[in-house]
Amino acid sequence: MTGAHGFNLNELHHSLCSHIMTPAKTCIDLSKRCCDEATQARLRKQEVSNSTLAPITSLSSVYVEVRIDLFVYSTMYPILKEVLHKSMHGPLHLHCRNLHVCMLPLCNTVELLELLNATGVRMIELYSKTLDELNTILPVMVKFRSLRSLKLLCCFDSIQRPTPGTEDAMKKFTTIIRQLRSLKELNLRSSSLAGCLQQLLGGIQEPLESLELGHCDLLPVDLYYLSKSLHISTLKKLDLRGHNLSAHLLLPFLQLLAAISSSLLYLDIRLCWLSDHTLSVLVPALCRCSHLRCLVLSMNPLSFQALKSLFQNCLQLQDLQLVVYSYPQDCYVNGTFFFIDTEKRNRLLAELQEILAKAGGGQTLYGRRECPFSKIQST
């Protein structure tokens, strides 16, 4: 089985399993050795109970902390559960930093969170959970005082299909998420959140630094809320990929850009149906984002002239290091998006490079056919 970007998903799964199984087997082996050593020590102690010899040092009194990122699937959960149990009392203590949970039943997910050490967990990523399931999982997360990043991908479908208990479930969610005091990054990509953003984020009391809302079917009211929310003064990363910013979201997006212009470092608006006209409207607002470091514009149907104008204007942004964009429409044969005119592409990209060279920014330009993306990146 091969993924959309060309990597083999079976190989990826095997790699992740190997990543987990190596420390897992080590932990189990050490635990068995520790038990054997403890048994032998008790026997020796009985034999020399009246001796004045110094006490025997037990292996169980020494331990090593291993900080690890866990990618958990249902197939590997049984051995991981055993490892975490043994880790509590064995010489090898596994401390999870980043937790990725995929295709794991709700009961196992809760059990896994309960087994993890309360300190050190910085990021948790969950897939395809309903609101009721999240309300069962989140209370267990409260113990993770260092939790900084929470990724809830493909969740919240129940919001768009209301039931009598939906409103109560949402209130419970906002009450629980309020207790995650260290939370700075929230990723809700591919969740159906149309018109619900204020209700969803209303429980967060501390301002966020990163908000990823790609493919969330947002409405103007959602962007208007965000532009006036408590997160505006601190928001450094904003991901709105997959929203049509050339239509009814354009005005609220412009207001949002103006509100976050002083703090924004990273903006992802790929696949947002940006036309040349829309980009020309956005350029002045983008240029006011004085600290912007990365701008992602790929998968938008832009012409060479539109990109050229963008680069000429954005060169005034001294902190800008990376612009990601698709090859301009002019590079494709007969207006299709399948075949690139290599000679024309090279000529257009060389002209863009000349713009950068004249600006003295010390920047380089290169293309990647397979995406097809090109990048402008500072050296």
Please spell the DSSP secondary structure of 40-62, one letter per residue: HHHHHHHHTTT--PPPPPPGGG-
The answer to whether residue 300 scores a pLDDT higher than 70 is yes
Distance (Å, whole) CA 313 – CA 323:
13
Which stretch of 150-159, 174-183, 246-255, 359-368 has the lowest confidence by average pLDDT? 359-368
Please give the pLDDT value at position 363. Answer: 45
User: Which residue's entry shows tokens 């987990």?
Assistant: 20
Per domain, the residue ranges of the chain are 293-379
Give me the residues paired with residue 186 across strands. 150, 211
- Phi and psi, residue 135, nearest 5°: -70, -20
The answer to whether residue 366 scores a pLDDT higher than 60 is no
Task: Record the pTM.
Answer: 0.81
The sign of the dihedral angle between the CA atoms of 178, 184, 187, 192 is positive
> Per residue in 5-53, pLDDT tens?
333 434 434 444 455 556 556 555 555 565 555 555 556 666 555 555 4
Class of the CATH domain delimited by 293-379: alpha beta
Write the CA distances from 305 to 75, 152, 362, integer angstroms: 52, 39, 22
> Per residue in 102-119, pLDDT tens?
889 999 999 999 999 888
The answer to whether the CB of 123 falls within 8 A of the CB of 151 is yes
Please give the pLDDT value at position 229. Answer: 94
Counting residues of the chain whose pLDDT is more than 70, the rounded percentage is 73
The answer to whether residue 92 scores a pLDDT higher than 80 is no
Confidence band, pLDDT 50/70/90 cuts, at residue 139:
very high
Taking each continuous run of H as one helix and of E as one strand, the counts in the chain are: 12, 12
Burial 278-310 (b: 16+ CB within 10 A, else e): bbebbbeebbebeebbbbbbbbbebbbebbebb
Please give the pLDDT value at position 375. Answer: 44
